[in-house]
Amino acid sequence: MKRRDFVKTAGMGVLAAGAAALPPVSRAARPIRWKMVTTWPKNFPGLGTGANNLARLITEMSGGRLRVRVYGAKEIVPAFEVFDAVARGTAEMGHGAAYYWKGKVEAAQFFAAVPFGLTAQEMNGWLYHGGGLELWRELYAPFGLVPAPAGNTGVQMGGWFNKEIKSVADLKGLKMRIPGLGGEVLRRAGGTPVSLPGGEIFTSLESGAIDATEWVGPYNDRAFGLFKAARYYYYPGWHEPGSTLECIINRKALDALPKDLRSIVLNACRVVNQDMLAEYTARNNQALQDLIQKHKVQVRPFPPEVLQRLRTLSEQVVADIAAKDPMARKIYASFRRFRAQVMQWTDISERAFLNARSG
Q: Site residues for Ca ion, window 150-179 (CB under 5 A)?
A: 156
Taking the complex as a whole, the smallest distance from the CB of residue 157 to Ca ion amounts, in Å, to 8
Q: In this complex, which beta carbon is closest to Ca ion, that of residue 92 or of residue 240? A: 240
Taking the complex as a whole, the smallest distance from the CB of residue 179 to Ca ion amounts, in Å, to 7
| Binding span for Ca ion by CB under 5 A among 149-157, 162-170, 260-268, 351-359 | 149-157
Measure CA of the first residue to CA of the last residue in the chain; give whole Å.
Answer: 88
Q: Site residues for Ca ion, window 68-107 (CB under 5 A)?
A: none
Report the run of H or E that residue 213 belongs to, with start and end.
strand 212-213
| Nearest by Cα to 217 from 279, 301, 273, 280 | 280
| Nearest by Cα to 335 from 327, 346, 347, 324 | 327
Asked if residues 133 and 111 have their Cβ atoms less than 8 Å apart, the reply is no
Q: In this complex, which beta carbon is closest to Ca ion, that of residue 83 or of residue 238? A: 238
Let me know if 115 is exposed, middle or buried by CB neighbors in 10 A (0-12, 13-18, 19+).
buried
Q: In this complex, which beta carbon is closest to Ca ion, that of residue 92 or of residue 214? A: 214
Q: In this complex, which beta carbon is closest to Ca ion, that of residue 122 or of residue 221? A: 221
Site string for Ca ion, 238-277 (x = CB under 5 A): --x-------------------------------------
Taking the complex as a whole, the smallest distance from the CB of residue 209 to Ca ion amounts, in Å, to 18
Q: Distance (Å, rounded) from C-alpha 125 to C-alpha 305?
A: 30
Taking the complex as a whole, the smallest distance from the CB of residue 47 to Ca ion amounts, in Å, to 10
Q: In this complex, which beta carbon is closest to Ca ion, that of residue 65 or of residue 239? A: 239
Taking the complex as a whole, the smallest distance from the CB of residue 129 to Ca ion amounts, in Å, to 25
Question: Cis ω on the peptide bond leading into residue 218 (within 30° of 0)?
Answer: no
Asked if residues 124 and 67 have their Cβ atoms less than 8 Å apart, the reply is no
Q: Site residues for Ca ion, window 202-241 (CB under 5 A)?
A: 214, 240
Taking the complex as a whole, the smallest distance from the CB of residue 222 to Ca ion amounts, in Å, to 14
Q: How many residues bind Ca ion (CB under 5 A)?
A: 3
Where on the chain is the footprint of Ca ion (CB under 5 A)? Answer: 156, 214, 240
